[in-house]
Amino acid sequence: MSRRAKWWMVAALLVVVAMAFRVSWNALKDVARAIGADPLAAGLYPLVVDGLMALALVAALILTGADRKFALRVLGGYTAASLVLNYVHGLVPALHGGGRVRLADWAPAHYALVLLASCLPVGSIFFGSDLVAKVLHHKPEPAENDQTTANRSGSDLPGSADPDGSESVYESADPEPIADPIPAPVPVRPRAVAAAVSRSRRATGSVPKSARTKVPIRTVEELLAEARSVTAGWSEAELNADRIRTELRTSPARARMLRDTLKADRTEAARPGLHAVPDTADDDSTTAPVPETGGGSEEQAS
């Protein structure tokens, strides 16, 4: 619809409202005279009732949520009250001449109609002030940009958290012994570029594997060499698994293994050495000499 057509619709609506206000004006003025209002007050009475209806309609178009519902209730209530008073004006011909007359032959109905007509001006002050205050303090909600929603990082959307559990950073320097001392590479999943510029997160006390600093894993030979160097001056009583684990910062299982190995080394070093036993086999150089015979006896005989 063009802008000119919209202006024509608004103008037509204002004309209809003005004519309806003029028709209701006479009825509400006569009712006000019937309950004892002076000519000036009776002339202003239609503005109090129908004027608040127009104010509540404008407030309902501006406000949102609970405030809009309140404005619609005020509009509905004053519309019903104006309709009842116009209906009574049509039923009682004596109201057309002005002056104080009964609004109904039945006394309870008369008292109820007088109470309704008398309370409408006071209600207009209360509800009208409340509606104006709500409109003045109303802050329209900014419309969310579609491009901003599309560029929102995955960390801000529900269900984008990493489902893998993160390990605590408070753990032993050396994990439990494994078959392969070389740590397996941690796969790094690709993340969106927008996640790098997303808002900073608060520290939670634990970090995923990909963000933790890798601790070098020492082999058994390296741990044994370091243990021999550290425990060189320890006594037998000081050589226990708890102290070895504390000094070398290793696991309890490796500490017990190192303790047993070091005690075995000390036992082996304290054992006395064995000497070689000489061979008792016969040797040609150690045989007894054979006495000389024959030559000397011949010389004695001669």
Q: Are residues 132 and 227 in the same domain?
A: no
pLDDT score for 247: 84
Q: Are residues 7 and 126 in the same domain?
A: yes
Q: Is residue 256 part of a domain?
A: yes
Q: Are residues 227 and 132 in the same domain?
A: no
Q: Is residue 142 part of a domain?
A: no
Distances (CA, A) of 133 to 62, 114, 127: 12, 30, 10
Element (H, E) at 207: strand 206-207
pLDDT score for 70: 94
Whether 98 contacts 28, CB under 8 Å: no
Tell me which residue has tokens 């404005």: 71
Backbone φ and ψ for 104, nearest 5 degrees, come out as -155, 150
Q: Are residues 125 and 237 in the same domain?
A: no
Q: Is residue 181 part of a domain?
A: no
Q: Are residues 132 and 233 in the same domain?
A: no
Q: Are residues 130 and 228 in the same domain?
A: no
Domain with 229, as residue range(s), is 220-269
Tell me which residue has tokens 């004519």: 19
Residue after which a domain boundary falls, among 84, 111, 136: 136
Is the sign of the CA dihedral 43, 49, 52, 53 positive or negative? negative
Q: Are residues 247 and 130 in the same domain?
A: no
Closest by CA position to 133, among listed 61, 66, 59, 65 = 59
Residue after which a domain boundary falls, among 108, 136, 164: 136
Q: Is residue 151 part of a domain?
A: no
Collapsed DSSP state (helix, strand, coil) of residue 255: helix
- DSSP labels for 257-278? HHHHHHHHHHHHHHSPPPPPPP
Q: Say what the alpha-carbon torsion angle 42, 47, 52, 58 is, to the nearest 10 degrees.
A: 170
Q: CA-CA distance, 107 to 46, in Å (whole number)?
A: 25
Q: Which two tokens stand for residue 52?
A: 């608040």
Buried b / exposed e along 130-167 (16+ C-beta atoms within 10 A)? ebeebbeeeeeeeeeeeeeeeeebeeeeeeeeeeeeee
Q: Is residue 15 part of a domain?
A: yes
Q: Is residue 208 part of a domain?
A: no
For 205, residues 6+ apart whose C-beta sits below 8 A from its C-beta are 168, 169
Distances (CA, A) of 282 to 122, 275, 287, 291: 145, 22, 8, 20
Distances (CA, A) of 277 to 86, 209, 245, 274, 282: 141, 64, 45, 9, 15
Q: Residue 276's CB: how many other CB atoms inside 10 A?
A: 5
Q: Is residue 24 part of a domain?
A: yes
Q: Is residue 182 part of a domain?
A: no
Domain count, the chain: 2
For 210, residues 6+ apart whose C-beta sits below 8 A from its C-beta are 186, 188
What does each of the 302 residues of the chain score in pLDDT, given as a tens digit?
Answer: 788 888 888 888 888 888 888 888 888 998 999 998 898 998 899 999 988 998 999 999 999 999 999 999 999 999 999 999 999 988 888 787 777 888 888 889 989 999 999 999 999 999 999 999 999 998 877 655 545 554 554 445 455 444 444 444 444 455 555 555 555 555 555 454 444 444 555 555 666 666 666 656 778 888 888 888 888 888 888 888 888 888 888 888 888 888 888 888 888 887 766 555 555 544 454 444 545 544 444 444 43
